[in-house]
Chain A
Amino acid sequence: MKRLLALGAVVLTTAALAWAGSDTQPKAGGAPMPVIQKAVKGEQCVEDTDYMRRNHMVLLDQHRDKTVIEGVRTKKYSLKECINCHASETTGSVAAAKDDFCVSCHSYAAVKIDCFECHSTKPQGSIAMHSLNAETAHYKHKLAAQATSKVSVEEMAGVAQ
Chain B
Amino acid sequence: MSELKPMSDQTPASPERRRFVGGAAAAAGLAIAPGVMLHQVAHGRPEEQAASSAVRWGMLVDATKCAAGCDDCVTACSTENGWTPVAESKHPKQAPQWIRKLELQDPLTQVETNLPMLCQHCAEPPCVDVCPTGASFKRADGIVLVNRHTCIGCRYCMMACPYKARSLVHEPLNDTQKPDVPRGIGCVESCTLCVQKIDRGDGNTACAEACTAAGHNALLFGDMNDPESEISKRLRELPTKQVRADLNLNLGVRYHGI
Main secondary structure of the interface of B (DSSP, over half): loop
Whether the pair A118, B179 counts as a contact (CB closer than 8 A) is no
What residue in chain A is nearest B148 (Cβ atoms)? A118
Whether the pair A120, B47 counts as a contact (CB closer than 8 A) is no
Inter-chain residue pair count (beta carbon < 8 A): 65
What residue in chain B is nearest A67 (Cβ atoms)? B199
Q: Does chain A have a CB within 8 A of B50?
A: yes
Min C-beta distance of A17 to chain B, whole Å: 40
Q: Does chain B have a CB within 8 A of A93?
A: yes
Which A residues from 121 to 137 make CB contacts under 8 A with B? 121-124, 135
Contact pick for A117, options B50, B145, B184, B199, CB 8 Å = B184
What residue in chain B is nearest A115 (Cβ atoms)? B182
Residues of A contacting B49 in the complex (Cβ-Cβ under 8 angstroms): 72
Whether the pair A120, B177 counts as a contact (CB closer than 8 A) is yes
Q: Does chain A have a CB within 8 A of B100?
A: no
Residues of A contacting B179 in the complex (Cβ-Cβ under 8 angstroms): 80, 83, 119-120, 122-124, 135
Q: Does chain A have a CB within 8 A of B147?
A: yes
Whether the pair B141, A71 counts as a contact (CB closer than 8 A) is yes
Q: Does chain B have a CB within 8 A of A57?
A: no
The interface bits of chain A over 61-80 (1 if a CB of B lies within 8 angstroms of the residue's CB, else 0) are 00011101111111100001
Bound form: Cα–Cα A74–B139 in Å = 17
Q: Does chain A have a CB within 8 A of B149?
A: yes
Q: Does chain B have a CB within 8 A of A139?
A: no
Q: Does chain A have a CB within 8 A of B156?
A: no
Bound form: Cα–Cα A17–B165 in Å = 63
Bound form: Cα–Cα A66–B149 in Å = 12
Q: Does chain B have a CB within 8 A of A144?
A: no
Min C-beta distance of B216 to chain A, whole Å: 29
Bound form: Cα–Cα A118–B187 in Å = 9
Q: Does chain B have a CB within 8 A of A108?
A: no
Interface size on A, as a range, is 20 to 34
Min C-beta distance of B71 to chain A, whole Å: 26
Contact pick for B175, options A74, A75, A122, A123, CB 8 Å = A122
Whether the pair B139, A69 counts as a contact (CB closer than 8 A) is yes
Q: Does chain A have a CB within 8 A of B172?
A: yes
Bound form: Cα–Cα A66–B49 in Å = 10
Bound form: Cα–Cα A120–B175 in Å = 5
Whether the pair A70, B175 counts as a contact (CB closer than 8 A) is no
Q: Does chain B have a CB within 8 A of A96?
A: yes
Whether the pair A75, B47 counts as a contact (CB closer than 8 A) is yes
Pairs A-B, 7 closest by C-beta atoms: A118-B184, A71-B51, A70-B50, A118-B182, A117-B184, A124-B179, A120-B179
Q: List 18 A–B pairs whose Cβ atoms lie within 8 Å, in order of A's numbering.
A: A64-B149, A65-B149, A66-B50, A69-B137, A70-B51, A71-B50, A71-B51, A72-B49, A73-B200, A74-B47, A96-B175, A116-B175, A117-B173, A117-B185, A118-B148, A119-B179, A122-B175, A124-B178
Measured CB to CB, the residues of B under 8 A from A are 47-51, 137, 139-141, 145, 147-149, 172-173, 175, 177-180, 182-187, 195, 199-200
> Beyond A83-B179, A118-B173, A124-B179: 10 further Cβ-contacts under 8 Å?
A64-B149, A72-B48, A74-B47, A75-B47, A117-B185, A117-B186, A118-B182, A122-B175, A122-B179, A124-B178
